[in-house]
Structure 1
């Protein structure tokens, strides 16, 4: 029975590890796109104790897929010249929202992106 109860030190360690993985899932998208969130989600998806990490990794993955699609659309629209502006706007919004998400998850809060296609549930 005592093995099911975690000491405060274990709980703090688990939440620090969870928030670290969640921050990496969100902040990694700035530099490496969907790859960090995909790796973290695949590593933690079967771990019942890492619900916070899996939900945040899925959220980051869905957002990075959405950003990737927006980059593809803006690349196509470069021929119409509006795509150049759209490309820089998508890049700027990606950085800002990833930083906000990383800050929120570092505090242990759940973050949900305001604009994301929820492909992975």
Structure 2
């Protein structure tokens, strides 16, 4: 036996010398071909055509310029039906999300459609106007000891205006709110 206790002991008896033999077989590394199979030639997946052959996407046919080409990204314009859909969402979205819906729609689509840019800004400005009206209504209500709470009826008219704007946008026509502080130009 060996004097070093940290050294692993061989399973053979000490009177027989160890015979050199072939090293133990290890499984192939991930991504390398199995033994007996030819390596893949520029094919990322087996049974798939190589790049440049029919059925494979051609370089430069994506949604923008190739990465690293130095060309600025040009967003794809919206179709007319998509323009109308996002304009409608900008008009009726504030019923659930206040000014957040038109703000997000305006920021995302302002470069892709002039119509959506215009209508989302109009809806966003209207929501900002409603915030000012809400603050004024709260102050009037507090000062008049709830007698001024009738001012909140203005929000019913605002909901009607938002529905009218959505109907006009569904036809592809722009809509201008009758009372609107246009802070965002």
> TM over 0.5: same fold?
yes
Q: Is 1:56 aligned to 2:56, yes or no?
A: no
CA pair 117-82 structure 1, distance change in 2 beyond 3 A: farther
Q: 2:167 aligns with which of 91, 98, 103?
A: 103
CA RMSD of aligned residues (A): 1.5
More helix by share: 1
Distance 1:53 1:100 in 2: 16
Deviation at 1:33, TM superposition (A): 1.2
Kindly indicate whether the alpha-carbon contact (under 8 Å) linking 1:62 and 1:116 is maintained by their aligned counterparts in 2.
Answer: yes
Distance 1:28 1:78 in 2: 27
Structure 1 runs, 4 residues or longer, greater than 2 Å off: none
Deviation at 1:46, TM superposition (A): 2.5
Corresponding residue number in structure 2 for 1:71 = 134
TM-score if structure 1 supplies the norm length?
Answer: 0.83
Distance 2:98 2:148 in 1: 20
How many residues were matched structurally?
107
TM-score if structure 2 supplies the norm length?
Answer: 0.55
Distance 1:106 1:97 in 2: 14
Distance 2:174 2:130 in 1: 20
Unmatched 5+ residue regions in structure 1? 1-10
Kindly indicate whether the alpha-carbon contact (under 8 Å) linking 1:28 and 1:36 is maintained by their aligned counterparts in 2.
Answer: yes
Unmatched 5+ residue regions in structure 2? 1-76
